[in-house]
Amino acid sequence: MSRVLLSLSVLSVVIFAAPCSAHSDGSDCDCLPSAADLKNLLRNAPGSGGEAGGLFHGTRMWGAVVNRSGQICALAVSTDDPTQAWPGSQAIAKSKAYTANAFSLDVLPLSTARLYTFTQPGHSLWSLGQSNPFNPRFLAPPIEAAEASKKIEGGLIFFGGGVPLYKIGKIIGGLGVSGDTSCTDHEIAKRVRAAAGLNPPGGPLVDDISYSSVDGASAFTHPLCIQTYRNGSFIGNEQPATGY
């Protein structure tokens, strides 16, 4: 399946083949998908790379893109009727994009999925989420939310769905996806990034989601979700609640 993602990255990079440069001040969005591009990428992602899992198979997604300064460059929803994707996912997608960009570097891409364990009680980054809360003043109604705001809305999210974006080995921003389980959000974000030709230098799987049940316990691990799939393969299900 990694070969499929790599092929998508190579074949679809022509979408964004127009000349652009990664500006050091992150003041523009030239190298990043537009709202129209993002919408198409979100719509196509569930049909590429195999089953995405979750509640809706990745078909009801909000997506947001920020530049290196954290400004919103594009916002889109994959459904024809934007009210039929969770309204709450607009803010989550923006926060995931901001987080993935905020804590990644040229030499270290960090998806939001890989920050999960670090930010749990008793771990080294517990309470990090309080450092930069999301600003709800910049939210837009679903039918009007496709316009880029160029605002820094902040917000930190530490579960799957946010990935950093790269061009010629340099980080240029972040992508956030929300609208399903956090595991499916990550799968769709990973596919969108690959299809846009914006993978990290190490390839599409260098910051992939890690599950302790499959990969062993680590500080980068993420819990399973309902109908968890990774790269088209079934991984497992979130454990049912017990004791209450």
Spatial separation of the C-alpha atoms in residues 202 and 235, rounded to whole Å:
23
Q: Average the pLDDT over 193-212 and give the result.
A: 97
Distance of alpha carbon 41 from alpha carbon 76, whole angstroms: 10
Task: Kindly state the tokens that stand for 97.
Answer: 């994009």
Question: Could you tell me the pTM of the whole model?
Answer: 0.88
The helix (H) or strand (E) run that includes residue 174 is strand 170-178
- Chain mean pLDDT for the chain: 89
Token readout for 171 is: 């980080």
Tokens of 147: 């316009």
Tokens representing 30 are 């030239």
pLDDT band at 147 (very low <50, low <70, confident <90, very high): low
Q: How confident is the model at residue 28 (pLDDT cuts 50, 70, 90)?
A: confident
Which residues are registered as beta bridge partners of 77? 62
Q: For residue 36, what pLDDT is reported?
A: 94
Read off the DSSP letter of residue 107.
S
pLDDT in tens, 211-244: 998 999 999 999 999 999 999 999 999 999 988 8
Closest CA to 153 of 133, 171, 172: 133
Q: Provide the residue ranges of all domains of the chain, joining segments of one domain with +.
A: 2-10+32-236
Confidence of residue 9 (pLDDT cuts 50, 70, 90): very low
Higher pLDDT among residues 172 and 2, named by residue? 172
**Residue 17: pLDDT band by 50, 70, 90 thresholds?**
very low
pLDDT one-digit tens code per residue, 76-101: 999 999 999 999 999 999 999 999 99
Q: What is the mean pLDDT of residues 90-119?
A: 97
Tens digit of pLDDT for each residue in 153-194?
Answer: 899 999 999 999 999 999 999 999 999 999 999 999 999 999
Distance between CA atoms of residues 183 and 195, nearest Å: 19
What is the architecture of the domain spanning 2-10+32-236? 2-Layer Sandwich (3.30)
**Are 160 and 112 in contact, with CB atoms under 8 Å apart?**
yes
Q: What's the mean pLDDT in 143-148?
A: 64
